Amino acid sequence: MDIKYLKGVGDKRAEAFLKLGVNRIEDFLSFVPRAYVRRTTIAEARKNVGGNVVIFGKVTFVKHPSRPQHPVTIELGDGTGLIEIPIFGASEFRLKQFRLNESYLFYGKVADAYKGYNARLDYRDHLKLNTFDEFDRDFLKYPVLPVYELSGLLKATWVKPLTLTRIVFNAFRYLLKNTQFPAEEKLPERILEEYSLPSRSEAILRINFPKTLEQVEQYRKRLAFEELFYLQILFALKKRSIKEEVKGISFNTDIKTLTSNFVKTLNFELTGAQKKVINEIYSDMKSGKVMNRLLQGDVGSGKTIVSLFGMLIALQNGYQSAFMCPTEILAEQHFSTITNFVKRFNEVSGLDYKVTLLIGGQKKKLRQEILADIKSGKAGIIIGTHALIQETVEFANLGFVVIDEQHKFGVMQRAKLKEKGLNPDVLVMTATPIPRTLSIAYYGDLDVSVIDELPAGRKPIHTYLKKDTAKNEVWSFVKENLRKGRQAFIIYPIIDESEKLDLKSAEENYKNHKGNIFREYKVGMVHGRMFWYEIEETMNDFKAGKIDVLVATTVIEVGIDIPNATVMVVEEAQRFGLSQLHQLRGRVGRGAEQSHCILIAKYIDEISGKRLETLCETTDGFKIAQVDMEIRGPGEFFGTRQSGILEFSATDLIKDSDVLHKAKEVAFKIIDEDPHLRKPENKIVREVLLKEHKDSMYLMNIA
């Protein structure tokens, strides 16, 4: 049936629904309520001040406003009492709209009433219901009503919250009367039985029109299970297809000498966690399957050196490695540390490996030389920014790809760099630890390695929160440290580098630091609007100790490594995100000296307060990530959405980690036992995949 014939819809609204992707009545089954309201009697409502309720009753009185700006007040009765409902605006219309002795459903918030007076309801919406109409009669049987997200398109056709609720109800009623199972099942029967899950039809019906509010969660989780199940099926297939069909490189030369030369080159002892991860990477590289590994390790845990080991293995096997960084300063910094290391490594082992830097803004002639070296294979390790994935860059034989600070890149960029090689092994690294639930949900196709140990001798950074008014105290503290020969960062918020106002304030502060507060010291500045070589120059000066205080914006957020810097001051800390502050703080605490992080905040609201408090309490990146996810929600957690693969409507990753684990287990088991989904009992999974997840399968490169 065309939805325009559905009770309550009609031509205009049908058009609006069409634009929202609702073409058929069955499409209403995918609606998920945003909230629920209980239906109560007036007597019950009186005891529930502040609560949202719907009340069904008869109009007993319509009070005219005594002045034009006053509301029309409806008095409603239901046999248990009376309640007054003032409605502001359009009084002429309202007076005609409500008729004495007729029945209406009112939705609103119960307001406090003076003793002895009638209770009052703050009006939100109402519906005229006709108890002789069978649709309306059935509608009234439900003690809890769903409320849906109301788009502007619908509002334009006079759809109000309760109107939409009733339309959805009518759709459900129609489907229930006309089909045996209104919603097609998507999970194999065996799984439903094994985990005693209700049918899809029942779950959909009950999250929309529950018998009690308490039962909603159980049905929502059933639908969440299904969403997560299919996501995990995709991941399981992806993993399988990588293993089976795509042949990777087998880096199988002997690494005994390489290892001992590597250790000789290091001027420190690797941590146990680093060794463990190096082994994980090596065993992936040795095998013929393509490595897809996510390396998580807190700031300063020493990820770079671990990835370098992988790059050296690739080189020894005659392959190039690419190392992609999110910013130019970071690429520059890695270039310098990796070059230094490889130089010493070459000396120790009598080799001649070449490290190259490719970033935007390099002189044309230089760039052409670099591109030629990459193409000829002369360049063994190529470090760069997203310049690496441009079409003009051709590799001789790219075998190993490292992506640093993964959270800054999207999936598409990941895929592009991979395409430049013949199924190279890929190591993505992130210092923003991802809560376990999220890493399973977003990176289900990756293997995960964790460096959960900091190099010995690191002292946990002390973190303090200071009021804006205590700045002088902060500056004396900074000076105390400068006198001891240490260096300091002072960070200003330019969250969006195009913010002119922010830049101005950062620059003014810089002038004040340079000419006034820290006039006896050397003060430098870097911000994102400078050219990379200007930033590089200043950073090198800072690294060499030619600058004592570096005023900076978040361009230094990731990766920068200056062990002698022990003080990090962040002004207007309330404006930064939690993970961002954690990253900034990670710029200090990299040497043996005690480091300090001072957060200066002007105004603190509940959320920024929680962020700053968390930071003062812990330096554990995983704990911080968990809180960050809870504050921001899983979708926002990554900044920009990482992929189009993940679109949940019933799932709430914060609440559903149990469901996620179960879904993962079940999905991987199915693909393990029946990789091509040929068994009759899995037929349904195959069909749903082909019908609904073709795009994702294409995106994920699943054959």
- Using CB under 6 A as the binding rule, whether residue 119 contacts ligand ADP is answered as no
- Using CB under 6 A as the binding rule, whether residue 561 contacts ligand ADP is answered as yes
Least separation in angstroms between residue 293's CB and ligand ADP is: 15
- Using CB under 6 A as the binding rule, whether residue 299 contacts ligand ADP is answered as yes
Structure tokens at 693: 């997840």
Least separation in angstroms between residue 433's CB and Mg ion is: 13
Segment interacting with ligand ADP (CB under 6 A) among 125-133, 217-225, 301-309, 505-513: 301-309
Contacts 24+ apart (CB under 8 A), 340-346: 341/265, 341/305, 341/308, 342/381, 344/265, 345/261, 345/262, 345/265, 345/312
Segment interacting with Mg ion (CB under 5 A) among 133-141, 484-492, 559-567, 637-645: 559-567
Least separation in angstroms between residue 270's CB and ligand ADP is: 5
Q: Which is nearer to Mg ion, 308 or 666 (CB)?
A: 308
Please write down the HEC assignment for all residues of 599-643: EEECCCCHHHHHHHHHHHHCCCHHHHHHHHHHHHCHHHHCCCCCC
Q: Which is nearer to ligand ADP, 157 or 337 (CB)?
A: 337
Q: Which is nearer to ligand ADP, 291 or 305 (CB)?
A: 305
Among 83, 145, 164, 305, binds ligand ADP (CB under 6 A): 305
Q: Which is nearer to ligand ADP, 307 or 696 (CB)?
A: 307
Among 210, 248, 297, 444, binds ligand ADP (CB under 6 A): 297
Least separation in angstroms between residue 427's CB and ligand ADP is: 12
Strands 565-570, 487-491: pairing is parallel
| Sequence-ordered list of residues with C-beta below 8 angstroms from that of 396, at least 6 positions apart, any chain | 320, 374, 375, 376, 377
Residue 57's binding partner among ligand ADP, Mg ion, none (Cβ under 5 to 8 angstroms by kind) is: none
Segment interacting with Mg ion (CB under 5 A) among 59-67, 350-358, 468-476, 558-566: 558-566
- Using CB under 6 A as the binding rule, whether residue 295 contacts ligand ADP is answered as no
DSSP string, 170-196: HHHHHHHHH-SSSS---S-HHHHHHTT
Among 108, 302, 399, 589, binds ligand ADP (CB under 6 A): 302
| Sequence-ordered list of residues with C-beta below 8 angstroms from that of 221, at least 6 positions apart, any chain | 656, 659
d(CA 288, CA 664): 25
Contacts 24+ apart (CB under 8 A), 512-519: 513/549, 513/551, 517/475, 518/475, 518/478, 518/479, 518/482, 518/548, 518/549
Q: With CB under 6 A, what is the number of residues at the site for ligand ADP? A: 18
Cβ contact 447:582 at 8 Å: no
- Using CB under 6 A as the binding rule, whether residue 268 contacts ligand ADP is answered as yes
Least separation in angstroms between residue 204's CB and ligand ADP is: 46
- Using CB under 5 A as the binding rule, whether residue 433 contacts Mg ion is answered as no
- Using CB under 5 A as the binding rule, whether residue 586 contacts Mg ion is answered as no
- Using CB under 6 A as the binding rule, whether residue 301 contacts ligand ADP is answered as yes
Among 311, 431, 488, 523, binds ligand ADP (CB under 6 A): 431
Q: Which residues of 91-121 are buried (b: 16+ CB within 10 A; e: fewer)?
A: beebeeebeeeebbbbbbbbeeeeeeebbbb
What's the one-letter identity of residue 567?
V
The residue whose Cβ lies closest to Mg ion is 559
From first CA to last CA, the distance across the chain in angstroms is: 37
- Using CB under 6 A as the binding rule, whether residue 592 contacts ligand ADP is answered as no
Q: Which is nearer to Mg ion, 294 or 685 (CB)?
A: 294
Strands 52-63, 35-39: pairing is parallel
Structure tokens at 254: 């002997």
Least separation in angstroms between residue 559's CB and Mg ion is: 4
Segment interacting with Mg ion (CB under 5 A) among 22-30, 171-179, 545-553, 555-563: 555-563
Structure tokens at 242: 């990588």
Among 210, 300, 559, 621, binds Mg ion (CB under 5 A): 559
Least separation in angstroms between residue 317's CB and Mg ion is: 25
- Using CB under 6 A as the binding rule, whether residue 304 contacts ligand ADP is answered as yes
Among 29, 162, 270, 663, binds ligand ADP (CB under 6 A): 270
Among 527, 590, 664, 693, binds ligand ADP (CB under 6 A): 590
Total number of residues shown for the chain? 703
d(CA 507, CA 490): 12
Cβ contact 571:493 at 8 Å: yes
Q: Which is nearer to ligand ADP, 305 or 417 (CB)?
A: 305
DSSP string, 334-376: HHHHHHHHHHHHHHHHT----EEEE-TT--HHHHHHHHHHHHH
Least separation in angstroms between residue 564's CB and Mg ion is: 18
Least separation in angstroms between residue 348's CB and ligand ADP is: 17
Segment interacting with ligand ADP (CB under 6 A) among 64-72, 120-128, 170-178, 300-308: 300-308
Least separation in angstroms between residue 269's CB and ligand ADP is: 6
Among 57, 188, 248, 455, binds ligand ADP (CB under 6 A): 455
Q: Which is nearer to ligand ADP, 305 or 666 (CB)?
A: 305
Residue 301's binding partner among Mg ion, ligand ADP, none (Cβ under 5 to 8 angstroms by kind) is: ligand ADP
Q: Which is nearer to ligand ADP, 145 or 429 (CB)?
A: 429
Q: Which is nearer to ligand ADP, 3 or 461 (CB)?
A: 461
Query: Comparing C-alpha atoms, which of 421, 365, 427 is closest to residue 393?
Result: 421
- Using CB under 6 A as the binding rule, whether residue 271 contacts ligand ADP is answered as yes
- Using CB under 6 A as the binding rule, whether residue 300 contacts ligand ADP is answered as yes
Q: Which is nearer to ligand ADP, 27 or 453 (CB)?
A: 453
d(CA 693, CA 110): 45
Least separation in angstroms between residue 216's CB and ligand ADP is: 43
Structure tokens at 509: 């502060």
Query: Comparing C-alpha atoms, which of 101, 103, 167, 106 is closest to residue 129?
Result: 103
DSSP string, 475-522: HHHHHHHHHTT-EEEEE---SSTT-HHHHHHHHHHHHHIIIIITTTS-
Q: Which is nearer to ligand ADP, 33 or 384 (CB)?
A: 384
Least separation in angstroms between residue 543's CB and ligand ADP is: 11
Residue 302's binding partner among Mg ion, ligand ADP, none (Cβ under 5 to 8 angstroms by kind) is: ligand ADP
Q: Give the count of beta carbons closer than 10 Å to the beta carbon of residue 592.
A: 12
Query: Comparing C-alpha atoms, which of 488, 490, 455, 460 is closest to residue 594?
Result: 460
Q: What share of the chain is helix, strand, coil (3-state, %, to 5)?
A: 45, 15, 35
Binding site for Mg ion (CB under 5 A): 559
Binding site for ligand ADP (CB under 6 A): 268-271, 274, 297, 299-305, 431, 455, 559, 561, 590
